[in-house]
Amino acid sequence: MHHVIITGSTGMVGKGVLLECLDSEQIASVLAINRSSLGMAHPKLKELLLPDFMQLAEHREMLKGYDGCFFCMGVSVVGLNEAKYTAITYDITKVFADVLFELNPNLVFNYVSGTGTDSTATGRVMWARVKGKTENYILEKGFKDAYAFRPGMIIPERGIKSSTGWYNAIYVILRPFFGWLKKCSNITTTTKLGEAMIASLTADQLKKHLENKDINALAESRA
């Protein structure tokens, strides 16, 4: 039985991961860290409301005893310069990694990045460069294990909606094709993302950068 921390569970990816964790017999408890409340109750679920994620270290006592962190928080790059995007994407993730490594070094840390991320962190595309820098920090931190999840197209399931309005508009258009799309190995779902996260806690997975095909394969390994 595992005890996990999830960030970003008010968003589409994080909510999918949260629901799978709450349903899983392998997960004993979930600490959801968000800026706003989920507005739901479950025997496994605890919440830490944190308006300023840079102040995470002030809550050390709540963060002890966990063996997984599913970091699903993220923002769109639209309208942000590199300094602002780095502060939200890299700096906050680094704080989480530093605090959790101090308290739970034997932890599996999964960072949700995105397809097209630049592992060299030196390319011309700003968001890909910053995401790559963030991935590298997590993978090299020294946790028991760590993975960079790089989903591309994600189909929402279980009534989940994206917090990005234009994503939802696209999903409405594509909904009649969801059944066919789910059969494509290069497309994943919110359910499979959650299943893959849970599987990663015990997986002997050599590949650390997981695209949709890898995510789906890892999810199926739970069966």
The CATH number of whichever domain residue 164 belongs to comes to 3.40.50.720
According to the model, what pLDDT value does residue 185 have?
60
Token duo for residue 16: 């999918």
Nearest CA to 13 out of 151, 118, 129 is that of 151
CA-based angle 131:105:220, to the nearest 5?
A: 65
Give the residues of the chain that fall short of pLDDT 50. Answer: 166, 169, 177, 180
Residues 6+ apart with CB under 8 A from 216: 185, 188, 192, 196
Domain span at 207: 2-220
**Per the structure block, which two tokens stand in for 216?**
């789906």
DSSP 35: S
Domains: count for the chain: 1
Q: What is residue 221's predicted lDDT score, i.e. its pLDDT?
A: 84
**pTM of the predicted protein model:** 0.88
At 151-196, the pLDDT tens digits run 988 888 756 665 555 455 455 555 554 554 555 667 889 999 999 9
pLDDT of residue 216: 92
Q: What stretches of 87-125 show up as alpha helix (H) in DSSP?
A: 92-103
